[in-house]
A and B are shown apart, each in its own frame.
Chain A
Amino acid sequence: MDFKTFVFYFLSAILLFAAVRVITARNPVHAVLYLVLSFFTAGGLWLLLHAEFLAIMLVLVYIGAVMVLFLFVVMMLDINLERLRQGFWSNLWVGLPVAVLMVAEMALVLTGRYFGAEALPTPPPQPADYSNTKELGRIIYTDYVYPFELASVILLVAIIAAVALTLRRRKDTKYTDPSKQIAVKRNERVRMVSMPAEKE
């Protein structure tokens, strides 16, 4: 077993452990942290496959941005774990056999022959100055420019939908409009009332 294989098994073991802990951890914050760990090790696996750009993106985007957001949401929400776990054990006896059966069936269909090492030969090694980032950039902006633009349209739709579904103009907010404040006239602020003098 050379060093590379050792690293692969090492990272895979951590990844599997972390993934299992994501769904078994009692505390949701811990679950999110385990998810971070599993993403990080997956990034390491991608580095082994010479996909350094994707690995860095996984760490930057998923761990740096998405998971931090997740963490905030999980901390803000008061998740009632007891209610979520209700019926887990009684449903398990139905769910588990079905899941095992499906996995076994898939395993039978997809036995190593088609996806083994010989079906997918190792790609030729790239020269040392080969840049993954550059190649990805080239292909996204040339061959895949159409799907790339479509993805941007989908993001635009997501923004529009989010605004349409959540933006509410509340009537009871007491926010001030600076332009109205500036345009105010003296006689709108002060009212002269003439009244006769009165004795206390």
Chain B
Amino acid sequence: MNFTIPDLYPASAEIFVLIMACVVLLVDLVAGKSRRWMAYFLTQLTLIGAFAITLFTMDGRTVLTFANGFIDDTFSDILKLVLYFSVAVVLIYGRSYMAERRLENGEFYLLVLFATLGMMVLISASHFLTLYLGLELMSLSLYAMVAINRDSAVCTEAAMKYFVLGALASGLLLYGISMIYGATGTLELPGVRQALYFNSANSKVLVFGLVFVVAGLAFKLGVVPFHMWIPDVYQGAPTAVTLFIGSAPKLAAFAMAIRLLVMGLFELAEQWQTMLMLLAVLSIALGNLAAIAQSNLKRMLAYSAISHMGFMLLGVLSGVVAGDPRYAVPAYSSAMFYAVSYVLMSLGAFGMILLLSRAGFEAENLEDFKGLNKRSPWFAFVMMILMFSMAGIPFFVGFFAKFAVLQAVVAAGHIWLAVFAVVLSLVGAFYYLRVVKLMYFDPPADTTPIRAPFDMRLLLSANGLAVALLGAMPQAILDYCAYAFIGGR
């Protein structure tokens, strides 16, 4: 019955974020309406502090703590660093938008912080229970954020849809987890892997549970046929919240896929790879084809998110070839590269919508981008870079991400899959290039000058340039992603 205090050092970033969230809660309560900037400022400070803590406690070792419920490895550290960065960018982009619509209250920043904490827990989970709790912490905050504009019927409907389908997906995931627990007798992910390695007698039950786990996971990633919530939620939520949902949670969902499938159920790779293949093929096809028909930019980007997540799954599913895990590291690191570069592009694209929006006006339709070149040549250029990169045109970062994933797919021997993905990416290029055409060759429908805070303009420019310049050194990023997986062993 001896109890030793668990090692808190690996989880110091999580503890810091939790304490700061409580501080923001109290400060915002006392500060009142006129000093809302304090909540914003403290939230940004929290993210910077967590960044510093994670950076300084990163030492390449893999440490398990809290009775094997928490894992601190290179994979989690690198993903968390990207996570803090993207959340900070979301707040800078979204602040003036929320303020103009009187939605900038302390609860918004609190929910962002708690969602971030949930994602950190999810990224560092090495136990089914902590994984589930991290997921719920993230999702619950997101549901509330979608509904934050409570007087808008569209918002509330989107939140309701998200909430009900999210609860269903959590149920599926839990049911699958309970089956896996029944078959292996443990909830710890490394323990599950060990149990699977030493006995595969209950494989029927395991595959049965796996189906439910993959279904729950697919919902969180938003891939076909579990994608129904994505377009409505993206369109219905306030754009700043859409920006948040479209960026950081994708990283968390990727981490969840890696933790569940690679860390826990690696021995069942043959089975889940086939399932993911089906999901990926459907998502790439439906995402790219449905996006063509959209006239709302937020909805178009939602369908593009579906196809991008399908593309990322291509990397996850090419790790093991005929029981041989030789290609695992390059394949998973290509998927991670894809996820990170998608987050970067998605931040920029939704940032552009926020830039063009102003009080009482949402620049969410394709027409609103007409003739942007006349209004602001620089931001039209930035948007062009983002669209080119999303379409996968060389030599932007999106191209290299697609290239790395396709390399992994070909190495795994799925030539037809690679050809299919390339053909549908070409189809997808149409709707990205349509935006560029509208910006450069159509007369402007709206000539209001663009007004935005200086920090947002600067960061958005930097974001666009990063998408262009990171394309110059794809190998360095890919090496970092590979380091995340090798260091994690």
Q: Report B454 CB to chain A, min CB distance, Å.
A: 30
Q: Any chain A CB within 8 A of the CB of B117?
A: yes
> Judging by beta carbons under 8 Å apart, are B107 and A160 in contact?
yes
For the complex, count residues of B whose C-beta is within 8 A of A: 38
Known: A109-B208, A150-B137. A157 touches B111 (CB 8 A): yes
Task: Let me know if A147 and B69 touch, CB within 8 A.
Answer: yes
CB pair B202 A153 closer than 8 Å: no
Residues of B within 8 A of A165 (CB): 144, 147-148, 150
Given the known inter-chain contacts A110-B208, A114-B202, A144-B67, please indicate yes or no for A164 contacting B111, CB distance below 8 A.
yes
Contact of A114 with B205 in the complex, beta carbons under 8 Å: yes
Interface of chain A: mostly helix, strand, loop or mixed: helix
Segment 119-162 of A: residues with Cβ below 8 Å from B: 138, 142-147, 150-151, 153-154, 156-158, 160-161
| Inter-subunit contact A164/B144 (CB<8 Å) | yes
Q: Which of B38-46, B127-135, B304-312 contacts A (4 or more CB under 8 A)?
A: B127-135
Residue A163 CB within 8 A of the other chain: yes
The 8 closest A-B pairs by CB, nearest first: A161-B144, A164-B107, A146-B66, A143-B67, A150-B133, A142-B3, A146-B69, A114-B205
- B residues sitting closer than 8 Å to A (CB atoms) are 1, 3, 6, 11, 18, 25, 66-67, 69-70, 105, 107-108, 110-111, 114, 117, 121, 127, 129-130, 133-134, 136-137, 140-141, 143-144, 147-148, 150, 182-183, 202, 204-205, 208
Smallest CB-CB separation from A113: which chain B residue? B204
- Whether A175 sits at the interface, judged by CB under 8 Å, is no
CA distance A37 to B67 in the complex (A): 38
Q: Are B133 and A158 in contact (CB under 8 A)?
A: no
Is the pair A153, B137 in contact by a Cβ cutoff of 8 Å? yes
Q: Kindly state the separation between the CA atoms of A151 and B137 in the bound complex, as whole angstroms.
A: 8
Chain A residues with a Cβ under 8 A of chain B:
106, 109-110, 114-115, 138, 142-147, 150-151, 153-154, 156-158, 160-161, 163-165
- A157–B111 Cα distance when bound, in Å, is 7
* A106: chain B residues within 8 A (beta carbon): 208
Residues of chain A contacted by B147 (CB below 8 angstroms): 165
Interface on chain B toward A: helix, strand, loop, or mixed SS? helix
- Residues of B within 8 Å of A154, CB to CB, are 133, 136-137, 140
Q: Which residues of A contact B148 (CB under 8 A)?
A: 164-165
Among B18, B111, B182, the residue within 8 A (CB) of A153 is B18
In the bound complex, residues from chain B placing their C-beta under 8 Å from that of A144 are: 67, 69, 129
Contact A157/B70 with A109-B208, A110-B205, A164-B107 known, Cβ cut-off 8 Å: no
Q: List, in ascending order, chain A residues with CB within 8 A of B205's CB.
A: 109-110, 114-115
Q: Beyond A147-B129, A164-B111, A165-B148: 7 further Cβ-contacts under 8 Å? A: A115-B182, A138-B1, A146-B67, A147-B69, A153-B137, A157-B140, A164-B108
Interchain CA distance A147-B144 in the complex, whole Å: 22
A163 CB, nearest partner CB in chain B, Å? 7
Which residues on the B side are within 8 Å of A163 (C-beta)?
107
Could you write out 15 A-B pairs with CB less than 8 Å apart? A109-B208, A114-B182, A114-B205, A145-B66, A147-B133, A150-B137, A157-B114, A160-B111, A161-B107, A161-B111, A161-B141, A164-B105, A164-B107, A164-B148, A165-B144
Are B137 and A146 within 8 A (Cβ)?
A: no
Report B403 CB to chain A, min CB distance, Å. 39
Contact A153 B114 (CB under 8 A): yes
- CB-defined contacts of B3 to chain A, threshold 8 Å: 142
Q: How near does chain B come to A162, taking the closest CB pair, in angstroms?
A: 8
Closest partner residue, chain A, to B148 (CB atom) = A164
Identity of the chain B residue whose Cβ is nearest the Cβ of A120 in the assembled complex? B182
Instruction: Tell me the smallest distance from the CB of A164 to a CB of chain B, in Å.
Output: 4
A146 touches B70 (CB 8 A): yes
Question: Given the complex of chains A and B, what is the CA–CA distance between A138 and B130 in angstroms?
Answer: 18
- The CB with the most chain B CB atoms within 10 A, among A151, A153, A163, is that of A153
Known interface pairs A114-B204, A145-B6, A146-B6; A161-B143 also in contact (CB < 8 Å): yes
A109 to B1, CA, bound (A): 41
Please report the C-alpha to C-alpha distance between residue A138 and residue B1 in the assembled complex, in whole angstroms: 9
A147 touching B130, Cβ below 8 Å:
yes
Query: What's the minimum C-beta distance from A139 to chain B, rounded to whole angstroms?
Result: 9
Partner among A110, A138, A153, A164 whose Cβ is within 8 Å of the Cβ of B117? A153
Nearest residue (CB) in A for B105 is: A164
Residue of B with least CB distance to A139:
B67
Smallest CB separation, B215 vs chain A (Å) = 13
**Which of A106, A115, A147, A163 lies at the interface centre, i.e. has the most chain B CB atoms within 10 A of its CB?**
A147
Q: Indicate the member of A106, A144, A150, A163 with the most B CB atoms within 10 Å.
A: A150
- Contact (Cβ within 8 A) B130 A160: no
CA distance A143 to B108 in the complex (A): 33
- The distance from the CB of A127 to the nearest CB of chain B, in whole angstroms, is 16
Q: Considering only CB atoms, which chain A residue lies closest to B117 in the complex?
A: A153
Bound CA span A164–B11, Å:
29
Shortest C-beta distance, A48 to chain B (Å), equals 20
